[in-house]
Amino acid sequence: MQRENKIYLASKSPRRRELLTQVGIEYELLLLRDIPPRGPDVTEIVFPGELPHDYVSRVTKEKAEMAWKVMHMRKLPVRPVLAADTTVVINQKILGKPANRDEAVSMLTLLAGNTHEVLTSIAVQHEHGLIAATQVSEVSFAALTAQQIQAYCDTPEPYDKAGGYGIQGAAARFISHINGSYSGIMGLPLFETCQVLRQSGIFIP
């Protein structure tokens, strides 16, 4: 009997879903709680002194491990669970998702005319353990006017994305150069993801 070749995706990101579909990976969503009354299943608080690479790796592993527990609690079919987390870093400062317009403007002002890093960590929990990897890319922004930043922050685009921008959206017009993985900057480095899923027993041609 042929083994099922499907995973769970522990992420609400529509971009991650699009990227998995792009390379033909079958998945079902396995979402964690991020609202009261019990609070989030995994918090994304940065610990004092925690370095960006350590932070994004830790949060991603916690998401994968928690989703694995949720899978068993819900008595779902056992499959590998993929989690991911993306953070934007400039001068060792971690930029998460802007909570409001002022934060979005502040982030874009900081990124304008500079090069920053985008760290995307992936983790797959499966029957025999957990496999993780972190991909690092560099993104260079052109100098931006205050008017350009304000106009971009008037759109819905900045508010569900680390660093306050999406490379696959209108912000592409601000980006002068990238060095690394385009899909990783979007939120799921496909080369590394396929490698890790293969190691977890998923067949990917």
Residues catalogued as catalytic: 85
What is the SS3 assignment for 50? Answer: coil
Place of tokens 């993929």: 82
Give dist(CA 203, CA 205) in Å, integer. Answer: 6
Q: Which residue, among 40, 195, 60, 168, has the nearest Cα to 119 in the 3D structure?
A: 60
On whether the CB atoms of residues 156 and 99 are closer than 8 A, the answer is no
Angle at which helices 190-199 and 14-22 cross, to 10° = 70
Residues 186 and 139 sit within 8 Å (Cβ to Cβ): no
- Assigned token pair, 36: 């009261």
E-strand ranges in 129-174 read 129-141
Is residue 135 classed as helix, strand or coil in its secondary structure? strand
Q: What residues are paired with 138 via a beta bridge?
A: 117, 179
Q: Cα torsion for 13, 14, 20, 26, to the nearest 10°?
A: 100
- DSSP-derived secondary structure letter, 34: -
